[in-house]
Amino acid sequence: MTGLQITDVSLVLGDGDESVTALDHVNLSVAPGEFVAVVGPSGSGKSSLLAVAGGLSTPTSGSVTVDGHELVGPNNRELSRLRRELIGFVFQSSNLVPALTAVDQLRLPTTFGKFDDARDPMELLEQVQMAHKAKRRPHQLSGGERQRVGIARALMTRPRVLLVDEPTAALDRARSQEVVELLAKETREQGVATVMVTHDHDVIKHADTVYVMTDGRLEKQD
């Protein structure tokens, strides 16, 4: 089974009377090269979906597989390995490491383990049109530029699944369109299964499939 498979996943946070159902029997299947957008108001469970899909949270029930590798069950050490080998993250406002230049941001994930087929960082920077700022550090880049570097960083190790958390939260409209277009393009070219969580309805037109999250339930939008 290639791509991302989320099967009947529920996530209950807290316990007793305080418990909240963050995910309620969610099913989601994303094929390689498919760009899925998940929209919904804050608190609807979007971040929980990404956390479960990326092996950062263990669901209360259900199954998550990436290219056939089960993410529910393995210990933290094994989950770390699966994350670095199979999953790419693009974070809200990019979360780049302050001390590193753009090109070193891309090299960083390849130092986490042994990657024989890692991408060439300069080539990838070229691809996201950031090659001319390869030696700049995050504080010398604009929000959109940081996000481009963040996307390139997530693609360095050729992940099977790309999980994108509110990529346009800190960007203006024009930059937002550019960044999401870039995500859509890379998804198709790299054949990666991409899930983008956003509350920005202007950018979902670039997605192949759009889901709506409401109170922990996920529904496909027509």
Partner 1 sequence: MFLALRELRFAKARFGLMGAVIVLIAILMVLLSGLSQGLVKDGVSGLQELPVTSFAFEKDVQKDSAFTRSVVDADTVETWKSRDGVNDAAPFGLALVNGANQDGTQVDLAVIGVEPDSFVAPEPAEGEGLLDANSVVLSAHAADDGIAIGDVITLERTNVELTVTGFLDGQHTFGHVDMGYVELPTWQSINAGLPLDAALPEGKEGEFTAVAVKSELDTDALATADEEAGTTTMSLTESYGASPGYTAETSTLLLIQVFLYAICALVAGAFFTVLTIHRKPEIAVMRAMGASTGYLLRDGLGQALILLLASVGLGVAIGCGVGGLLQTTAMPFALVTGPIVLAAVLLIALGLVGAAVAIVRITRVDPLTALGANR
Give the nearest distance from C-beta 222 to partner 1 in angstroms: 28
Helix (H, G, I), strand (E, B) or coil at 147: helix
Two structure tokens written together for 162? 């790309």
Two structure tokens written together for 7? 């099967």
Q: Is position 13 an interface residue for partner 1 (rule: CB under 8 A)? A: no
Distances (CA, A) of 136 to 45, 130, 145: 35, 10, 10
Among 77, 117, 174, 222, binds partner 1 (CB under 8 A): 77
Helix (DSSP H) and strand (DSSP E) numbers for the chain: 6, 10
Cα 143 → chain centroid = 18
Q: Is position 134 an interface residue for partner 1 (rule: CB under 8 A)? A: no
Among 82, 131, 134, 212, binds partner 1 (CB under 8 A): 82
> Contacts with partner 1 in 15-74 (CB under 8 A)?
47, 50-51, 54, 56-57
Two structure tokens written together for 217? 């339930």
Give the nearest distance from C-beta 153 to partner 1 in angstroms: 8
Two structure tokens written together for 14? 């807290």
Task: Answer yes or no: are the C-beta atoms of 93 and 169 closer than 8 Å.
Answer: yes
Q: Is position 6 an interface residue for partner 1 (rule: CB under 8 A)? A: no
The span of 1-9, 15-23, 98-106, 184-192 binding partner 1 (CB under 8 A) equals 98-106
Q: Is position 87 an interface residue for partner 1 (rule: CB under 8 A)? A: yes
User: Can you tell me the distance from the alpha carbon of 61 to that of 78, in angstroms, rounded to the nearest whole number?
Assistant: 19
Residues forming contacts to partner 1 in the complex (CB under 8 A) are: 47, 50-51, 54, 56-57, 77, 80-85, 87, 89, 91-93, 95, 97-100, 104, 107-109, 111-113, 137, 165-166, 169
